[in-house]
Amino acid sequence: MRLEEKLEKLLKPTIESMGFELWGFEYLPAGRHTVLRVFVDKEETGVTVDDCATISRQISAIMDVEDPISSAYMLEISSPGMDRLLLKPSQFERYKGKTVQVRTAVGVLGRRKFKGPMRQVGDTMIVIEVDGELYEVAYDIIEKANLVAEF
């Protein structure tokens, strides 16, 4: 089981019982400076700094007991923000038609970076329009995908 799956199984019930949505995780291994970032959201009101502190206390207690990460790390609780990471097909679906920025592990028709409106969302891939061209990008090659904040 991948770390993200373990963490989701472990933390999702607590986060949801507190009235928040577990958006996802970002695990950045860097020796003594390793960071586990947990993204949470709340539909109508968003997430405040106080919410993050409360969630952090709850999650820290669970992580201390269950110990899913054996090495030292710093726990951060964060809102996904306006330029939120898109991690799951359901999240991509939620923002269909919006502008996204995507970086892939391998090239797609000679490109690894894409920025444009997400025209289609499927079970295995998304379609992004860049400069009038459509690119099919499979989820399994996406390194990072973000919503582009529009003002």
pLDDT digits (tens, 9 = 90+) for 121-144: 999 999 999 999 999 999 999 999
Within a domain: residue 18?
Answer: yes
Burial string for 8-24 (b: 16+ CB within 10 Å, else e) reads beebeeebeeeebebbb
Q: What is the mean pLDDT of residues 60-80?
A: 91
Within a domain: residue 69?
Answer: yes
Within a domain: residue 52?
Answer: yes
pLDDT at 2: 84
Within a domain: residue 83?
Answer: no
State which amino acid sits at residue 93.
E
State how far the alpha carbon of 89 is from the alpha carbons of 12, 76, 102, in Å. 18, 24, 14
Q: Are 17 and 54 in contact (CB under 8 A)?
A: no
Q: Are 44 and 82 in contact (CB under 8 A)?
A: no
What is the spatial distance between Cα 144 and Cα 15, in angstroms, rounded to a whole number?
24
Q: Higher pLDDT residue, 71 or 95?
A: 95
**Domain interval for residue 99:** 89-147
Within a domain: residue 40?
Answer: yes
Within a domain: residue 117?
Answer: yes
Q: What is the mean pLDDT of residues 96-112?
A: 95
Within a domain: residue 133?
Answer: yes
pLDDT at 21: 95
The count of domains in the chain is: 2
- Give the residue carrying structure tokens 């379609």: 127
Which of 78, 102, 134 is the endpoint of a domain?
A: 78
- Give the residue carrying structure tokens 């919503």: 147
pLDDT of 38 higher than 90? yes
Say if residue 40 is in the same domain as residue 98: no
Q: Is 14 left (phi over 0), alpha (psi -120 to 50) or beta?
A: alpha
